[in-house]
Structure 1
Amino acid sequence: MEESKRSHRSKSGFIRTLLYLKDRFDLHEGKEDELATIDYISKNVEFKGANLWILIFAIFVASIGLNVNSTAVIIGAMLISPLMGPIMGIGMAAGINDFELLKRSLRNLGVAVFISILTSTIYFYFTPLDDAQSELLARTEPTIWDVLIALFGGLAGIIAGSRKEKSNAIPGVAIATALMPPLCTAGYGLATMNLYYFIGAFYLFCINSVFISLSTYLIVRFMKFPKKEFLDQKKEKRVQTYITLFTIITIVPSIYLAYGIVVRSIWEEQAKTFVSQEMIFPRTQVLNSNFNYSSNEKVIQVSLIGDQVDDETINLIKEKAVNFGLSDTEIVINQNNSGITDMNLLRSDILKDLYERNEKIIQDKDEKIALLESEVANYGTVRFLGKEIAMEAKINHPKLLKFTLNRSLVTDLENDKTDTLLVAYAQFSSKPTKTETDKLSQWLKLRTKSDTVGLILQ
């Protein structure tokens, strides 16, 4: 009897927990009317008028951000961009069997992509800054993380779009999935005639778009949005067939491509781990390593510098590659003695660079020493001639009572510069006239062969 009560309490607790979790994770809580959500997404599909101009300006901003490698500017451009509209419209249309909305979304997405690539191509063609910065290079090849970001970001976007109270989730999704930078990078590829950049960036945009649309489609189906009804049953079946074919054509290749990205990412991680753990030698270091993955071949190229590693050790290392899942990977190890010419050139360049730097340092020091020697010589000359010059000045100026001559350091505070100046101090029995002081100043310049003389009178 007691066991029966415990079992009953246990079941009740489990049911209460399930009900609590269901209430917590209920997507219908706070949900907007489905028709209102469909209308909201449908309105954001169109690209004309203000929407098109906003897209163009946002592309310019994003292109500038990529050009100057400014993450903040790129994020700002993605906040401005209205690209999410037609992408979510495609997923919505597929989820509710609305063929007209699907065609409109695809048409507007095509217009947006064309305008975006054209705008960024024009910018990168005329910009004087043509170097590929790190922010731009990061958009040339998709990874598994890009796929996951697009998938989960799309889920967040459609759930936020179906709420009564709209949040900032959709702009956040636009930032996280980075729809605009790949299009700008594709434009850069066209402007510089680099097809690798163009194809890689456009591929990344397509992956992001497909998985955002797929997320929207899944949530729309899960939340059982009302499907579009037709009076003509034949037309309805035809539309459903078109939608199904489109969904299959879109999803199947994208899943295959995503699988390929996952396999490549795993291989690259295994290859990096293999090199970092196994390529450790007492007097030899890894100079650089390259990882080349394709469907035909997988190659790890490693360049070593230092003492020669014997063939037996290299063969043992290659055999260990199987433990890292690299059984079908070719491992190429280049050692410094196999490229003596290249190493000699490298050493020559290093020595030349060191020589030029040291020569510059020595030259600077020589110039400073020469300047100091000149200053010391001038100081000694002035000090030696001080009394003689004072006696001559007395002859020219009978009222002169005291006189001294010396070199002093003077700092120009406005230009932050320090220089030496010949300074003369003269005391007269009565205040001298301007003509007399000018005469003394000119005579001192001529007598001491100085360009300027600072004259202090008393």
Structure 2
Amino acid sequence: MNKLLNFLDLTKGEDNKETVLENVKSNISFRGANLWILSCAIVVASIGLNVNSTAVIIGAMLISPLMGPIIGAGFALGIYDFELLKKSLKNLVIATFVSLAVSTIYFYLSPFKETQSELLARTSPNIYDILIAFFGGLVGVIAITRKEKGNPIPGVAIATALMPPLCTAGYGLAIGNYRFFGGAIYLYTINCVFICVATFLIVKFLKYPRLVQFEKAREKQITYVITTLTVVLLMPSIYFGYTLFEERKFEQKVNSFIQNEFTDKGYTIIYQKTRYKSNSSSVEIALLSKRFTPQESAEINQRLKIYDLKGTQFKIRQDTTNLKQDILNQIKNDKANVDEKDAVIATLRNEIENNKYDNTSLLNEARILFPVLTDISISNHPFNVSQEKKDIVPVVIYSSIKQLNREDTQKLEQWIKIRIKKNTVEVFWKSTSN
């Protein structure tokens, strides 16, 4: 047992406590170069989130100096150095506001404002983010207290992901989506607090000397405040984690249902949409060719119980008409309409071609019966096409000094009908001056 405890002893390889504290204090301040490095890292991380590149995001976290004031706050709480705590929190606030400002400006100016998966991943924190932050913080503070520090800090920065939540919060501000902003800021706060808590616990475990000695009651009060803050942040994330767990279970059940009832039966799914809510989940699908009757759809809905999906609304999107038959009918109707139009056009063309009248011959013949005529002409006027009979009504215009009386006009009309073999004509008079 002693060998095991000796094997796990954290005090082995521990650096001088005063040296460790000096290193922690030196990395807290955000002035000059640190501020410029932070701003550049924020821009790089924002670009990575904007183009959905994990490699670029990791690169930004490798150069981020954000860990300093968070570790400093944890050490300050562990040794009751309230001046150090005040300085750490002040610099953390400065770094946070600078990061938010830079990321907001970037996303506001960026022409690409689509919400990528890397951005969405930072808007719904859960219990797993707390575990990552806490154990990442443990790695960070243990590494800082070693003589041979190695290079674990970049790995901690990657694991706890301090920069992407800040950039996502800036993205939320830039596009006016305050739900994104709130979720990302909550994730960032979780990371900060639980890295700080992990640091506090390690400092206590390694028994770093206290700067100020308090009475037991005062120490309990400080511990109570830290515990309360931890629980306040822990409870929502536990709820989000439970919701995530239930959503994953629901998706697995839906995938099993779709696989067994459709895919394995040879049906091709061209659309699938799943919505998970604790009280009203729904699944919608559309198939390539298979069509279900209402009875078949009802049977499929009944089988949801087998997959523990009772209460889930399931809908198969399908056209209520026979698309293939509709297309064939439409083609047939279009062909019939075209044939009918062609027949009408051919009839009208024939009518026009057959009604080319010799007005000169007609005038000579008409003057035998009506000597007062000086001119006569017949034409087929477009607006005289009968829509019902699809026939052309000839228009007769005669010229004379004096208009024919009613009886002579009727005689002229009857003669023209017989002469041009038409049942209907319209006769008009045009005056001729002496």
TM-score range, shorter chain: 0.5 to 0.7
> What letter matches 1:147 in structure 2?
I
Q: 1:299 aligns with which of 264, 280, 286?
A: 280
Moved more, 44-53 or 268-277: 44-53
1:43-82 → structure 2 map (5 Å cutoff)? 43-82=26-65
CA distance in 1, matches of 2:84, 2:305: 56
1:144, CA displacement in angstroms? Answer: 4.0
RMSD value, Cα: 2.8
Cα 1:244–1:285 change in 2 (3 A) is: farther
Q: 2:248 aligns with which of 269, 289, 301?
A: 269
Deviation readout 1:47-91 (Å, 9 max, x if unpaired): 222222221121112112222333332222111111111112222
Q: Which has the higher helix share?
A: 1
**Runs of 4 or more off by more than 4 Å in structure 1?**
283-286
1:205, CA displacement in angstroms? Answer: 1.2
SS state of the match for residue 281, structure 2?
strand
SS state of the match for residue 174, structure 1?
helix
Contact 2:126 2:238 in 1 (8 A): no
CA distance in 2, matches of 1:52, 1:139: 24
Contact 2:273 2:285 in 1 (8 A): no
Q: Does 1:157 align with 2:143?
A: no
Contact 1:284 1:305 in 2 (8 A): no
CA distance in 1, matches of 2:285, 2:52: 33
Show the counterpart of 2:305.
318
1:352-367 → structure 2 map (5 Å cutoff)? none
Show the counterpart of 1:289.
273
Show the counterpart of 1:413.
none
CA distance in 2, matches of 1:224, 1:291: 51
Cα 1:73–1:115 change in 2 (3 A) is: same
Contact 1:68 1:133 in 2 (8 A): yes
Q: Does 1:141 align with 2:124?
A: yes
Q: Does 1:184 align with 2:179?
A: no
SS state of the match for residue 168, structure 1?
coil
> What letter matches 2:7 in structure 1?
R
SS state of the match for residue 305, structure 1?
strand
Q: Does 1:109 align with 2:92?
A: yes
Deviation readout 1:397-426 (Å, 9 max, x if unpaired): xxxxxxxxxxxxxxxxxxxxxxxxxxxxxx
CA distance in 2, matches of 1:36, 1:302: 60
1:34-433 → structure 2 map (5 Å cutoff)? 34-230=17-213, 238=218, 240=219, 243-279=222-258, 280-281=260-261, 282=265, 287-293=271-277, 297-306=278-287, 307-308=291-292, 309-318=296-305, 320-321=307-308, 330-337=311-318
SS state of the match for residue 290, structure 1?
strand
> What letter matches 1:107 in structure 2?
K
Cα 1:152–1:63 change in 2 (3 A) is: same
SS state of the match for residue 310, structure 1?
helix
Cα 1:242–1:109 change in 2 (3 A) is: farther
Moved more, 114-123 or 143-152: 143-152
1:133, CA displacement in angstroms? Answer: 2.9
Cα 1:242–1:50 change in 2 (3 A) is: farther
1:187, CA displacement in angstroms? Answer: 0.6
Contact 1:87 1:212 in 2 (8 A): yes
Deviation readout 1:107-152 (Å, 9 max, x if unpaired): 2211111110011101111122222333333322224433322121
Moved more, 18-27 or 276-285: 276-285
Between structure 1 and structure 2, the one with the greater Rg is 2
Contact 1:147 1:207 in 2 (8 A): yes
Deviation readout 1:85-110 (Å, 9 max, x if unpaired): 11122222222222322222222211
Contact 1:185 1:201 in 2 (8 A): yes
> What letter matches 2:133 in structure 1?
A
CA distance in 1, matches of 2:95, 2:221: 24
> What letter matches 2:276 in structure 1?
N
> What letter matches 1:244 in structure 2?
T
Show the counterpart of 2:415.
none
Tell me, which stretches of 5 or more residues in structure 2 are unaligned? 328-434
> What letter matches 2:66 in structure 1?
L
SS state of the match for residue 147, structure 2?
coil
Contact 2:79 2:212 in 1 (8 A): no
> What letter matches 2:313 in structure 1?
V
CA distance in 1, matches of 2:220, 2:6: 36
Aligned residues: 314
